[in-house]
Structure 1
Amino acid sequence: MPLTEWRDTKETLHRYAQIVGKIRLAASARCNHWWNVPFHVTGRGITTRPMRQVDENLIFTIDFDFVDHRLVIATLDGEERSFPLPGHSVASFHDATLAALAALGIHVPIALPRPFDLPDTGRPFAEDTEHATYDPVAANRYWRVLSQVATTLEEFAAGYSGKRSPIHHFWHTFDIAHSRFSGRQIDQPRQTDPVTREAYSREVISFGFWFGDDTFAEPAFYSYTAPEPTGLAGEPLSPASAQWLARGDSHLAVLRYDAARGETDPRAAVLAFYESAYRAGAGRAGWDVTALACPGGITDPVLRL
């Protein structure tokens, strides 16, 4: 999945996702660590999951279908509106999405209707005619990779009995992730922005996959521990091609996608990478790894026998 081969489609699709994601943000009940906000992977693409506001809106979902390449908005009573994904700029996608919602009687005000944490954050979605590339082959491959990573993360997540996140696709950073928490509350500086404060209000080790961006121009699996314990970057990682990369004052464990695909058993290599990164962070941070273990997804010690 070389970034250079689908960068234009990715940049357009990322902004499509942010439009729908901000609708999800506005129409869902807030959940700890923003877990109400991300998308989930489906058998045809990604979904917002059912949502509504506190007013009289119908319960509805918005799905990206990367098989037939359509945006599908459906209500609980069976009404549906959809339109093709190819052929749209970000501006026309924004307008078509709001028009489809209105046709179903759904009205969701989008707070700050412009990109979040992207280079053009000052430009409203409704004015972005620059990003207008949608390659169906690339979009389908993106979803297929997401699906493979999601099932691998689900397998890895099953081994932890503590508080953990779902496997979800964040539209602001365009990565898919799973997080494990120790329960320890983290005091943060008062000037820390509210998005970061909620995301990192508890000690966490996160695991995920991103498709590459201007700062790291290739797809890769990753993990980090926050706050980072002393000596983390000196811990071993598996497989041998994995490495620690400096990221400001902290470090990121990285396994490049192409390196994982080059292993004899790519899935096993990714699982080993996540496990090694977890043990590095949990060990250095003093987590009770044995007590939090959940081998095979089973917490009852009798059932493990």
Structure 2
Amino acid sequence: MEQFAAMPLAGWQDTKETLHRFCQVVGKIRLACAVRRNHWWNAPFHVTGRGLTTRPMGQVDGNPIFTIDFDFLGHRLVVTTVDGREVSFGLPGGSVASFHRDTMRALDSLGVRVSLDQPHPFDLPDADRPFADDTEHAAYDPVMVTRYWQILSQVNLLLEEFAAGYSGKTSPVHHFWHTFDIACTRFSDRRIDQPPDADPVTREAYSREVISSGFWFGDPAFPEPAFYSYTAPEPEGLADEPLTPGAARWITQRGGHLAVLRYDDARAEADPRAAVLAFYDSAYRAGARLAGWDIARYACPGGVTDPQLGADQPGRVPR
């Protein structure tokens, strides 16, 4: 299995647009049926050994406990209840409209009642078109979808490794269905008062000072896959800070600065994994230093917080 296989956006853009909307359908079900967590941690998907999962949900809303999984090896959507009942259907060949219909039928057949407040895409060009009316997006290349999941799995573990180095409040490594990226976020204790006109998603996501690290597969604003990091709110002078490796750079996006390492530049490094970890660390240290974080206090080498364990068994888990 090649590490960081080629994944040019142009090679699967139509499939990505369809899959993104499939994920948004399921994501909005997750949002409707899961207990709310701080910073929207309840909403994203998690990577599994075959694809993506919503994790179990229901119960608190009167529904049976159920899980929705994308199987990107068998290319099926699988809905399972806690008592072992299961309904699934194939992903290739269907439109967003048929996917929405089949998903809601699967839930109904299992006794799950879900009403979506906004059954249409979030922050996409066709945000005003209901899922049920979208027969335009129907491309699905199984080879590229499997590759997307394989790369996502590699980045997932890389972000887990990076997350291990920080002992402060840290989000799970999770895949956001609205922006189609995978990320892990470090938090400080500093509260951030958002402007009155900030939308509810932003207000909750950035109610504390954060440094977020992640990866996305490309979009119209940056049409290629890339690793990224940002600090919010952005401290003055951030874009003047050096980044590692040399191919990494700061770009301007949405009025701020984003540290970016192009996926193809990472692939070209002698040790791509080490290069990406160095990139995340350099961007974190730049933001943390300028924002006044106590870097030494929250350092957690090898995922170990106890100094004696760290000295005795660096990088190892005691048995």
Does structure 1 residue 202 correspond to structure 2 residue 208? yes
Which of residues 233, 237, 244 is equivalent to 2:239?
233
Q: Once the two structures are superposed, what CA deviation does each residue of 1:180-228 show, in whole Å capped at 9, x if it has no partner?
A: 0011000111111111000000000000000001110000000000000
Equivalent residue for 1:94?
100
Q: Secondary structure at the match of 1:236?
A: coil
Equivalent residue for 2:135?
129
Task: Tell me the CA shift for residue 247 of structure 1.
Answer: 1.4
1:152–1:271 Cα contact (<8 Å) kept: yes
Q: Distance in 2 between matches of 1:4 and 1:110?
A: 32
The residue type paired with residue 258 of structure 2 is L
Which of residues 287, 294, 302 is equivalent to 2:308?
302
Which of residues 209, 212, 225 is equivalent to 1:219?
225
Task: Tell me the CA shift for residue 249 of structure 1.
Answer: 2.5
Equivalent residue for 1:293?
299
Equivalent residue for 1:108?
114
Between the two proteins, what is the percent identity of the paired residues?
71
Displaced runs of 4 or more, over 3 A: none
Q: TM-score, normalised by structure 2?
A: 0.95
Q: Once the two structures are superposed, what CA deviation does each residue of 1:111-170 show, in whole Å capped at 9, x if it has no partner?
A: 100000000000000000000001000100000000000000000000000000000000
Structure 2 stretches of 5 or more lacking a match?
1-6, 312-319
Q: Distance in 2 between matches of 1:194 and 1:65?
A: 32
Does structure 1 residue 157 correspond to structure 2 residue 163? yes
Which of residues 169, 172, 183 is equivalent to 2:178?
172
1:168–1:178 Cα contact (<8 Å) kept: yes
1:26–1:53 Cα contact (<8 Å) kept: no
Q: Distance in 1 between matches of 2:164 and 2:120?
A: 37
2:168–2:186 Cα contact (<8 Å) kept: yes
Q: Distance in 2 between matches of 1:183 and 1:84?
A: 45
Task: Tell me the CA shift for residue 57 of structure 1.
Answer: 1.2
Equivalent residue for 2:316?
none
Q: TM-score, normalised by structure 1?
A: 0.99
Change (3 A) 1:239 1:170: same
Which of residues 39, 42, 47 is equivalent to 1:41?
47
Task: Tell me the CA shift for residue 54 of structure 1.
Answer: 2.5
Which of residues 53, 58, 69 is equivalent to 1:63?
69
Does structure 1 residue 80 correspond to structure 2 residue 81? no
Q: Once the two structures are superposed, what CA deviation does each residue of 1:45-86 show, in whole Å capped at 9, x if it has no partner?
A: 000000005343110000000000000000000000000000
Q: Secondary structure at the match of 1:304?
A: helix
Q: Secondary structure at the match of 2:12?
A: helix
Q: Distance in 1 between matches of 2:160 and 2:118?
A: 33
2:44–2:177 Cα contact (<8 Å) kept: yes
Q: Secondary structure at the match of 2:309?
A: coil
Q: Once the two structures are superposed, what CA deviation does each residue of 1:257-286 show, in whole Å capped at 9, x if it has no partner?
A: 000000000000000000000000000000
2:35–2:60 Cα contact (<8 Å) kept: no
Equivalent residue for 1:268?
274
The residue type paired with residue 64 of structure 2 is L
